[in-house]
Chain A
């Protein structure tokens, strides 16, 4: 029974760690996407500023 308890504890820890890792990966992915979106936005404002120049 104690072994089962330890197993549950171990499984929980593994689950938590894998979830933490996955969450960090997704956050990193989101940051990368955000950078790409910012690059697109900055470039677009260049075109719009050209349009409003005249």
Chain B
């Protein structure tokens, strides 16, 4: 076999192996890039989760305080409604009581009117008789 052919075969094999490695290298690079991208996203998510996990207990404590505030507000609201109802009732009673003297004076006035009417009639009668 001539030396040129052997050299050519060796060159061909070398070229095939080199291109095979190039393809393989490209494939590995591609997968590594994908993994690296995913790793970066997961890292960001992990940092976000870590920050939120630090904050959430504080928010939950605040939430408990909010619960207590809600209870207090609800209790106050109930009390205010009750006081408001009581006030209305008291006010109505007071109004009724205040009306009583007015009514009495009105009755008295009517009574006096009737008396005066009677007196006037008697005077007229007396005058007629004279």
Interface residues on chain A, number (Cβ under 8 Å): 26
Given contacts A27-B45, A33-B53, contact A44 B39 (CB under 8 A): no
Q: Does B67 contact A (CB under 8 A)?
A: yes
A46 to B69, CA, bound (A): 11
Residue of A nearest to B39 (CB): A19
Contact between A19 and B42, CB atoms less than 8 A apart: yes
A50 to B34, CA, bound (A): 51
SS class of chain B's interface: helix, strand, loop or mixed? Answer: helix
Q: Does A30 contact B (CB under 8 A)?
A: yes
A53 to B45, CA, bound (A): 39
Residue of B nearest to A12 (CB): B31
A1-54 residues with Cβ-Cβ distance < 8 A to B are 5, 8, 12, 15-16, 19-20, 22-23, 26-27, 29-30, 33, 36-37, 39-40, 43-44, 46-47, 50-51, 53-54
The residue that A26 contacts in the complex, of B28, B34, B49, with Cβ under 8 A, is B49
Interface residues on chain B, number (Cβ under 8 Å): 27
Interface set of A (CB-CB < 8 Å, partner B): 5, 8, 12, 15-16, 19-20, 22-23, 26-27, 29-30, 33, 36-37, 39-40, 43-44, 46-47, 50-51, 53-54
Not counting A22-B42, A39-B63, a sample of 11 additional A-B residue pairs whose C-beta atoms are within 8 angstroms of each other reads A5-B24, A19-B38, A20-B38, A23-B41, A23-B42, A33-B53, A36-B60, A40-B59, A40-B63, A44-B63, A54-B77
